[in-house]
Structure 1
C-alpha cells in the first residue's frame, strides 16, 4: 500500500476516477453533483490517494470549515474493500488536518457505514438526512490538540 497526499493533477485525476466508480456508477449519485469547487489542488482542501500495489484504490479529502476539519468523498474501489484502506484514508486525512489544529473532525457518513466510523471514534450527532439521494448522518470526533 502506498498512501500519498495528492499534489499533482495526475494523482487528482486518479482520485476522480475512483469517485466516479464508487459514487456515480455504484451508488448512482448524479455526476453533476459529485464534483465541486473543492476539487482543485489550490482549494482549501487536502486530498489523499492510496494505491494497492500499483493500482489507485482509495481516496478522500478534508476541508476546513471554521475550527472543524470535514472529511469528505471517502471511498474505496470494491475489489479493495477487504484490505482496511478506508481506515487508512481516515487516518491520513485526520493526520493531514491535524496540522491546522482543528477542534473536531466531522463527516457526513452514509448510514450503512455508521459502525465503521464509530469504531474510529466518531459519534452520531444528527438525525438521518438525505444527501445526494442517500441516507446520511452527521458524525463528529472531538480532538485535543497539543
Structure 2
C-alpha cells in the first residue's frame, strides 16, 4: 500500500534527499551540483511510503500559474507498485490546491510512456538535461 505525505520535518526531508541521491546521482550519474538546486527550500516536497518504508519522492513549484512537477523518482525495489503514479497524482492535487489549471514536467524519455498513461502529452522535441534525454510534457488539471 502506498501512502503520500508532504515532507515537512528534517527527517522527512533527509529521506527525500537520500532517495534522490540514490536514484539520480548514484543510479543515473547526475552530479550532486545539478541535482540539488536553489529551489530546494521553496518547492514543496512529497514523500511516498510503500508499506511504511520511504520509497519515492517528488516536488512541485508553481511557475506562472502552472504546476511544475520535478524530481519524481522511486527507489528501484519499489518500482512497479504504483508508487510513481501515486506521487504524480499527489503533486497534481497539490497543484490544483495552489490554483494551477495545468501541470508540466520534464520527463526522461524512458518514462515518457509512463507519463502518457497518466494523461500527459509530449509538447517538445527531445533535449538533454543533466546529459539525460528529456521531453516536456503537459496535462490539464
TM-score range, shorter chain: over 0.9
Superposed CA RMSD: 0.9
Match of 2:21 in 1: 20
Alignment match, 1:99: 97
Instruction: Give the superposition deviation at 1:55.
Output: 1.7
1:48-70 Cα offsets, whole Å, 9 max, x none, are: 00111232110000111011000
| Whole-Å separation in 1 of the counterparts to 2:58 and 2:30 | 16
CA distance in 2, matches of 1:35, 1:11: 16
Cα deviation code 1:85-119 (max 9, x no counterpart): 00000000011111111121000000011110001
The Cα shift of 1:24 comes to 0.2
Q: Which shows bigger deviation, 96-105 or 122-131?
A: 96-105
Distance 2:9 2:93 in 1: 20
Distance 2:63 2:106 in 1: 14
The runs of 5 or more residues in structure 1 that have no matched partner are: none
Which runs of at least 4 in structure 1 moved beyond 4 Å after TM superposition? none
Aligned mates of 1:100, 1:130 — CA distance in 2: 29
The aligned residue for residue 118 of structure 2 is 120
**Residue 38 of structure 2 corresponds to residue 37 of structure 1:** yes
Q: Which residue of 2 aligns with 1:77?
A: 75
Name the residue aligned to 1:11.
12
What's the offset of the Cα at 1:2? 2.5
TM-score (norm 2): 0.96
Aligned residues between the structures: 140
Gaps of 5+ in 2: none
